[in-house]
Amino acid sequence: MIRLQNVVKEYKNGVKALNDVNIHIEKGDFVFLVGSSGAGKSTLIKLLMKEIDPDKGKLYLANKDITKVTNRSIPEIRRLIGMVFQDFRLLQNKTVYENIAFAMEIIGQSAKEIRRQVPKVLNLVGLSHKADSFPNQLSGGEQQRVSIARAIVNNPTVLIADEPTGNLDPDTAWEIMNVLKDINRRGTTVLMATHAKDIVDVMQKRVIALSEGKVTRDDRKGVYGYEF
């Protein structure tokens, strides 16, 4: 599903954000990506989203070589990925329903398909009763649920969550994790970048640790008490 093969990414200041990285994530995996600030997590995500290209190595997504592609191909690649951010990034002048529908509108989905799909994902994240609410009328946890619904409404094969619980209290964070687990159980590959040690320890999912641009640990059974 996701494969990095000897990937190197060096920035203009001479820092190698990723240094000969090899990672293989299978379809349906749930993987935590951990590491301190500057370890290379954000660079890896930017590579997958085709915001930047590697300097060396190969990058594959859904068995497609996306290492070097034309600008015309980038939207097609990004449709394979749903993205969830720490700061929600909702459109404040649109309702919950409209925020989710907008993700379908921009790729040209029909009004009929939008009416069919949006209620389904609202139900999945437990927000059917908030469809007509605006973001400022929601709690932080509810806003993140909308963000997740928006990310999955176009049925991506991969969901990337970048610190999705970072702005939430512990109880709400676990509610979000349960939503992500449910999405993963339905077949979506989940890659979650996080600093939340308690969540990593309890979840016992595969953990890939980065440090100074290198993979320092790849634990397929989860990590108890691992410092990162």
**DSSP annotation string for 127-166:** -GGGTT--GGGS-HHHHHHHHHHHHHTT--SEEEEESTTT
| Residue-range domain boundaries for the chain | 28-50+79-219
28-50+79-219: what CATH class? alpha beta
Provide the residue type at 204 as one letter: Q
Contact 56, 16 (CB under 8 A): no
pLDDT of the chain, 228 residues: tens digit per residue: 899 999 999 998 888 999 999 999 999 999 999 998 889 999 999 999 999 999 999 999 998 899 988 888 898 899 999 999 999 999 999 999 999 999 999 999 999 999 999 999 999 999 999 999 999 999 999 999 999 999 999 999 999 999 999 989 999 999 999 999 999 999 999 999 999 999 999 999 999 999 999 999 998 766 544 554
State the virtual CA torsion across 79, 47, 159, 166 in degrees, nearest 10.
-130
Rounded to two decimals, what is the model's pTM? 0.92
Type of residue numbered 77: I
Q: Cα separation of 28 and 89, whole Å?
A: 26
